[in-house]
Chains A and B, each alone.
Chain A
Amino acid sequence: MDKTKSSVVKGIPGSPGIAIGKVFLIEEDFPVVLKKIPKSMIKKEISRLHNALSQVREEMYLEKHKILKVLGKEHAPLADVYLRILDDPILKKDVANRISEEGINAEHALSATIEKVVQSFEKIEDEYFNERKNDIQEVGKRILRHLMGSQRKYINEANADSTIVAHNLTPADTVALYEHKVSAFAIDIGSKTAHASLLAQGLEIPAVVGLKNITAIANNGDDVIVDGNQGLVIVNPDDETLENYRKEHEIEQQELYELKKLRNVAAETIDGHRVTLTGNIDSIKEVKSILDSGAEGVGLFRTEFLYMNRDKLPSEEEQYEIYSSIAQKVLPYSLTIRTIDLGGDKLAKFGFDDIVAEDNPFLGLRSLRLCLKYPEVFVVQLKAILRASAKGKIKVMFPMVTGLAEFRQAKKIFEETKEVLRKNIQDFDENIKLGAMIETPSAALTADAIAREADFLSIGTNDLIQYTLAVDRVNENVAFMYEPLHLSILRLLRHIIEATHSAAKLVGMCGEMAGDPAFTTILMGLGLDEFSVPPIAVPKIKKIIRSSSIADSKKLVQEIFGTDDYNTVVNLLRKPHQKG
């Protein structure tokens, strides 16, 4: 075989990025031979199998502990899956039966059993389930390795330049990869959601999976390019290809470096005006992306997802666990929790049968209104939030407040809940901040009154725009009328921000408008104190803030308010208004 022959193998992009390195091949071939075992030796053969099983079990236990220690709890289930497979009655009984009934060696009996199970998995049409056969094959190989006394090549022999080429990655490899940096992976099997892909994404290294036979094509030490963007692996690339990829890799590294540099700097304008840049999340899973993005905590945690896809309300304990764990993870920053913002229909399935279908659910019993009607549901959440506030910096805000009276009513329940906790001698943060979301025109117009009694305000632009312009943005006949730059919206925003500042309070924004780079300067110019945006938008928004000046942003706002013509506003925003 011509060693320098270049080959391009197409797979599935598992994790983005480009890596240029040397092949580090993890070989998996175990030729299993059939041996006849004399009757007198059968017992010994079976105990050889049991020995191998317990050795592998021990090895997997050690790995599981290592995984728990290095990767944390959420990765442990994979190790559990392997352990369960190892303890599966099919493996234990079926293999032993084969040995004694057919009078064959443990290796062959094991291979035959694994083969049988894998075949039944192959019949499954669902791709996800079909793929699980890999886990079983992996465990089978581990046992074989012990039976045959052969050793797998270990990843800790690889270096930072190595591209791991393997049939599949085991949990042990996973741990090794966290402790030992490599440049990329190229894997025979797998899909976009396979363990190897998720691992690579977590490690932020490129990966291509589903390459089918890359282990047969690549040899140890070959030059290799892993293009995780397009799902290509090029073994022994020619000079031109190598050069092109080197350039692309450099550009990528440069961009990455720029964004990483931003991670640890403040969201501050060139003339020293500082705003707070936080992130929006729906679940605990997104906390990592918040921390990685360089956001200063969570500005909006939507708790609705806790109430979806289930038939029982989440308990106080369950909510407490989630809130306190997120609050601890984002320290030293704070976590702002928005209380239940659900439509009535979502609550109906929990047995509230007096909730009926409404003609206009957006103008109906939802969100804070629902909580005030069913305080028993509301109080459970408030208790969980308050208890969690002892563990970190937590703020609470009520969604869809329509006026001062309603805010007071909800605040009263909040205060009463605190009193209950005090009586029970349960810890909470006595200085916990309580805010109101401004997302209805009525709240916007009375923001001055609400701001006097709330600790902070947060503007929800999606609903505010829909309610103000009377436009359902999902309705395709009118969606084009949804316009954040409508004069009414600009005026409301100015009023909300000025009113909050007059009350000496801070005001943030967590709607889509905050995360849209087109509006960053105008919002800064209006005086917004906090931008809460999706984690992925954090570096982009930060970059804009850091390249603008507050003086120019204020001037821009002045010019915008000097006209009532929409097109002029749009043109003003397009004009380069950033210095430098």
Chain B
Amino acid sequence: MEERILQIKNRLGLHARPAALFVQTSTKFKSRIRVFKNDQEVDGKSIMGLMTLAAECDSSIYIIIEGEDEKKAMEELSKLVQNGFNE
């Protein structure tokens, strides 16, 4: 199991486009990806779920990934978030 806390860095937060990018990456992997913010949990492969987190700039999300390709998945998703979704 891989787990990590990531800070949202892009100005508008995890809005539609970044959420789409997140899902584009997460759905490449077989592992189960769960994303948490405060006490809310959503499926990391669901764009609607991710958007309901309303993760704004500077807020933190907590990601748990379980499965055969968990390491690679965490690596790519972390990179995406840390680069502020290239915005």
Contacts and interface: CB of A to CB of B under 8 A. Distances in A.
B16 A310 contact: no
A117 B56 contact: no
B84 A84 contact: no
Given A80-B24, A121-B52, A126-B56, A85 B82 contact: no
Interface stretch (A20-28, A95-103, A128-136, A376-384): A128-136
Interface size classification for chain B: 20 to 34
B49 A84 contact: no
B17 interface: yes
A129 B48 CA distance: 11
A89 interface: yes
Interface string B8-32: 0101110111011101100100000
A129 B54 contact: yes
A129 B51 contact: yes
A312 to B, nearest CB: 8
Contact of B23 (A84, A128, A132): A84
A88 interface: yes
A132 B16 contact: yes
B60 interface: no
B54 A81 contact: no
Contact of A90 (B9, B15, B48): B48
A435 B83 CA distance: 33
Given A121-B51, A309-B9, A132 B15 contact: yes
A359 interface: no
Contact of A120 (B17, B21, B52): B52
A90 B56 contact: no
B61 to A, nearest CB: 14
Interface in A116-169: 117, 120-121, 124-126, 128-129, 132, 135-136
B46 A77 contact: no
A84 to B, nearest CB: 4
Nearest to B85: A77
Contacts of B15: 128-129, 132
B47 A85 contact: yes
Contacts of A80: 17, 20-21, 24
Interface string B49-87: 101101010000000000000000000000000111000
Contact of A129 (B9, B13, B83): B13
A311 interface: yes
Interface string B29-43: 000000000000001
Given A90-B48, A90-B49, A128-B12, A84 B83 contact: no
Given A89-B43, A129-B13, A132-B16, A309 B51 contact: no
Contacts of B52: 117, 120-121, 124
Interface residues of A, number: 27
Given A89-B45, A309-B9, A84 B82 contact: no
Contacts of B20: 77, 80-81, 83-84
A84 B49 CA distance: 11
A84 B19 contact: yes
A123 to B, nearest CB: 8
B51 to A, nearest CB: 5
Given A84-B20, A129-B13, A89 B46 contact: yes
B8 to A, nearest CB: 12
Contacts of B16: 77-78, 81, 132, 135
A88 B54 contact: no
A136 to B, nearest CB: 6
Contacts of A310: 9, 83-84
A85 B52 CA distance: 13
A310 B10 CA distance: 9
Contacts of A84: 19-20, 23-24, 47
A89 B54 CA distance: 19
Given A124-B54, A126-B54, A311-B82, A88 B48 contact: yes
A557 B12 CA distance: 49
Nearest to A136: B48
Interface string A31-63: 000000000000000000000000000000000
A121 to B, nearest CB: 6
Nearest to A117: B48
A78 to B, nearest CB: 8
Contacts of A129: 13, 15, 51, 54, 56
B56 to A, nearest CB: 6
Contacts of A126: 13, 54, 56
Contacts of B21: 77, 80
A136 B15 CA distance: 13
Nearest to A129: B54
B84 A309 contact: yes
A84 B27 CA distance: 10
Interface in A291-319: 309-312
A88 B47 contact: yes
Contacts of B24: 80, 84
Contacts of B17: 77-78, 80-81
A135 B48 CA distance: 10
A443 B82 CA distance: 41
A85 B13 CA distance: 18
A78 B47 CA distance: 13
Interface string A98-120: 00000000000000000001001
B37 to A, nearest CB: 11
A577 B51 CA distance: 59
25 contacts: A77-B21, A80-B17, A81-B17, A81-B47, A84-B20, A84-B23, A84-B24, A84-B47, A88-B46, A88-B48, A89-B43, A90-B43, A117-B48, A120-B52, A121-B51, A124-B54, A126-B13, A126-B54, A128-B13, A128-B15, A132-B15, A309-B84, A310-B9, A310-B83, A311-B82
Interface of B: 9, 11-13, 15-17, 19-21, 23-24, 27, 43, 45-49, 51-52, 54, 56, 82-84
Interface of A: 77-78, 80-81, 83-85, 87-91, 117, 120-121, 124-126, 128-129, 132, 135-136, 309-312
